[in-house]
Chain A
Amino acid sequence: MLNAFKLTLCEASRLIRLGKLSPNELLESLLQRINTLEPRLEAWITIDEKSTRDLANELSKKAEKGNFQGPLHGIPIGIKDIYYTAGMRTTAGSKILANFVPSYDATAVLKLREAGAIILGKTETTEFAFVDPAPTRNPWNTAHTPGGSSSGSAAAVSSGMCPAALGTQTTGSTIRPATYCGIVGLKPTYGRISRYGILPVSWSLDHAGIFTRTVEDAAVLLEVLAGYDPKNPSSSTQPAPRYREALKSCSVPRLGLLRGFFWDNASSEVKKNIEETVQTLRSAGTEVTEIHSSENFNVANAAQRLLMWSEMAAVHEETFRRRMTDYRPSLRSAVAAGLLVPASAYLKAQRIRARFTTEMAYALTGFDCFMTPATTTSAPKGLESTGDPAFNGPWSFCGFPSMTVPSGVTDNGLPLGIQLVGRPFEEELLLKAASWCEKAIRFQHEPHEPE
Chain B
Amino acid sequence: MTRELTKPEILRDLMTNAAERWGKEEAERMKPSLDSIAEAICSVGSFRLMHEEEPANMATIFHQTRQRAEEKPEER
Contact = CB atoms under 8 A, between A and B. Distances in A.
A306 to B, nearest CB: 5
Contact of B36 (A189, A298, A305, A357): A305
Given A336-B30, A348-B45, A399-B61, A353 B14 contact: no
Interface in A352-376: 352-355, 357-358, 361-362, 364-365
A425 B62 CA distance: 9
B1 interface: no
Contact of A299 (B17, B47, B55): B47
A336 B31 CA distance: 11
Given A351-B53, A361-B69, A234 B58 contact: yes
Contacts of A189: 62
A358 B76 contact: yes
B26 A336 contact: yes
A395 interface: no
A339 B18 CA distance: 9
B73 to A, nearest CB: 7
A204 B53 contact: no
Contact of A354 (B14, B30, B64, B73): B64
B39 A399 contact: no
A191 interface: yes
B: interface residue count bin:
35 or more
Contact of A302 (B14, B21, B39): B39
Interface in B36-76: 36-37, 39-41, 43-45, 47, 49, 53-56, 58-59, 61-62, 64-66, 68-69, 73, 76
A305 B40 contact: yes
A450 interface: no
Interface in A158-172: none
A313 to B, nearest CB: 10
Contacts of B44: 299, 302-303, 306, 345, 348-349, 352
Given A191-B58, A352-B44, A340 B69 contact: no
A347 B56 CA distance: 9
Contact of B33 (A337, A358, A361, A425): A337
B54 A354 contact: yes
A340 B17 contact: yes
B41 A345 contact: yes
B69 A358 contact: yes
A337 B34 CA distance: 6
A342 B45 CA distance: 11
Interface in A288-334: 298-299, 302-303, 305-306, 309, 330, 333-334
A341 interface: yes
B65 A340 contact: no
A445 to B, nearest CB: 35
A376 B53 CA distance: 31
A190 B58 contact: yes
A350 B56 contact: yes
A333 B28 CA distance: 10
A102 interface: no
A424 interface: yes
Given A345-B41, A352-B44, A361 B55 contact: no
A352 B30 CA distance: 27
A427 to B, nearest CB: 13
Given A306-B41, A309-B37, A358-B69, A333 B53 contact: no
Nearest to A361: B69
5 contacts: A299-B44, A303-B44, A306-B37, A338-B37, A348-B45
Given A345-B40, A399-B61, 9 more contacts: A234-B58, A234-B59, A305-B40, A306-B37, A333-B29, A349-B44, A354-B53, A358-B64, A358-B65
Interface of B: 14, 17-18, 21-22, 26, 29-30, 32-34, 36-37, 39-41, 43-45, 47, 49, 53-56, 58-59, 61-62, 64-66, 68-69, 73, 76
Interface of A: 189-191, 204, 233-234, 298-299, 302-303, 305-306, 309, 330, 333-334, 336-342, 345, 347-355, 357-358, 361-362, 364-365, 399, 424-425
- Which 10 residue pairs of A and B lie closest in terms of their CB atoms, listed nearest first? A350-B55, A361-B69, A333-B33, A302-B43, A353-B56, A337-B33, A354-B56, A302-B40, A424-B62, A333-B30
